[in-house]
Amino acid sequence: MATATDSHDKHSQSIEALGLPGVMHRPINVTMIGAGSFFTYSILRDVVMIPGIAGGELRLIDVDGTRLELAAKLMGKIVEAAGQADKWTIRASTDRMELLPGTDYIVNSIEVSGVECVRYDNDIPLEFGISQCIGDTIGPGGLFKALRTVPVWLDILRDAERLCPQAVVLNYTNPMNVMVLAASRVSRMPVVGLCHSVQGTSRLLAKWAGVDYDSMKWTCAGINHLAWFTELRGPDGEDLYPGLIAQAADRESAFSKAEPVRTDMMLHFGAFITESSGHLSEYLPYYRKRKDLLDRYTDKGYNGQESFYADNWPNWRKGQDEARMKLIRGEEPVNLQRSWEYGAWIIEAIEKNQPFLIHGNVAPNEGLIPNLPADGCVEVACMVDRNGVQPTRAGRLPKQMAAICDSNMRMFDLAADACIEKSKELAFRSLLLDPLTSAVCSPAEIKRLTERLFDAEAAFLPGFK
């Protein structure tokens, strides 16, 4: 059972965290691939702030030279603000072959095609009646992001096998499940997929249950964005679910209004899920197939607004770059508090050999959750120490919860193979199994949709046949 007194929770509270005991004796080389990502600020900043760190090299890679330059200047500002400029060398390149040799940790946060395909991913499915809020991890948008991204990702891993086979690979790029699953089928590199939905949702549940987070005990397992809090107990061991379910049953309660889909799923399936209501609605066949259901269960922004990601992502990218410029110019202070992102905590646990618990995405499953596909990717508690990231056995999920995860995993299974084999036919068959798409469209319509998307995004899908 994972509890809030385990190390992963104490040390993912960014304000109070002081770090694990001990000193890191060797310099380390951390390579960020996709350095233009917003994750650079949080994860590499967190690395710099590890207590007792010996320093080393922060290596930045991005195919966009302008954003790469911004990232390098930002990291220079961070190490200076942290008083660690004498410990760290910052290197930047658009050529990963230059910086991968000797890398100890790879952080992957690439985005293939930038914003070029965002509208295709959203608007073409919408013509077929498929309403997406985020559309980057499942559904038509998630599938085509995978088809663009996974081949590049696998090329990176092949290069890593030659140039830094000892490196630990931390993946932050979506679609998380397909990325980790494809890696497990092609690469020998040790890969773990990292998200922050478990950390965020566990804190959210403590708030709605009215208990102190550090005293709450919980168990969580499933797949990324669809992991279930199967056990939730207060400081005296009391079950917190009856109180939460009573709040959820009142559809006018603040809890229900804040989380319309997650509270409804909890009422009918018996446990709360890790992903926000709007994004979660895309993983399910229930909430986005009719206008009356959209009106009832979705709202603005991350609570399910149609086309929310497509309408806003280009501006968010510009906003991130502008925020970096303000930090670089000194117009905004550098935040030196460690975040609850797992990346730096994993590095610290390995280097100091201090056991530390995370929830990671790993593949193959092979009995970690016995009633989910053995060759799939699951999200479970993992112990981290000198031996790396070691998944723990979560046990069987309640059958109705396992079935929901399984429905997604069948789609991801074919999607991963479609990416590996660059097969349009497997991509189509994957979308046939997507819960939302299949709730809205016939097989013939899904076939036409798939063909439309391949035609629109052909320039970003080389080699597909």
- Active-site residue set: 196
Let me know: does 434 contact 140? Beta carbons within 8 Å: yes
**Segment (H or E) for 61:** strand 56-61
Look at residues 373, 363, 375, 388 and name the one whose alpha carbon lies nearest to residue 187. Answer: 363
Tokens standing for residue 322: 């502008």
Look at residues 215, 209, 226, 315 and name the one whose alpha carbon lies nearest to residue 273. Answer: 226
Angle between the 308-329 and 118-127 helix axes, to the nearest 10 degrees?
160
Hunting for tokens 């992502």 — which residue is that? 313
Q: What is the DSSP string of 91-132?
A: EEES-HHHH-TT-SEEEE---TTTTTTHHHHHHHHHHTT---
Length of the chain: 465
Tokens standing for residue 113: 């095609």
Sort strands 388-391 and 378-385 into parallel, antiparallel or unpaired.
Answer: antiparallel
Q: What is the DSSP-derived secondary structure letter of residue 239?
A: B
CA dihedral angle for residue 318, residue 324, residue 330, residue 331, rounded to 10 degrees? 30
Hunting for tokens 């975040």 — which residue is that? 339
Let me know: does 333 contact 323? Beta carbons within 8 Å: no
364: cis peptide before it, omega within 30°?
yes
Sort strands 191-193 and 168-171 into parallel, antiparallel or unpaired.
Answer: parallel
175: cis peptide before it, omega within 30°?
yes
Tokens standing for residue 353: 């050999």
Let me know: does 30 contact 57? Beta carbons within 8 Å: yes
CA–CA gap between residue 315 and residue 320 (Å, rounded): 9
b/e string for 356-388 if b means 16 or more Cβ within 10 A? bbbbbbbbbbeebbeebbeebbbbbbbbbeeee
Distance, C-alpha 116 to centroid of its chain: 21
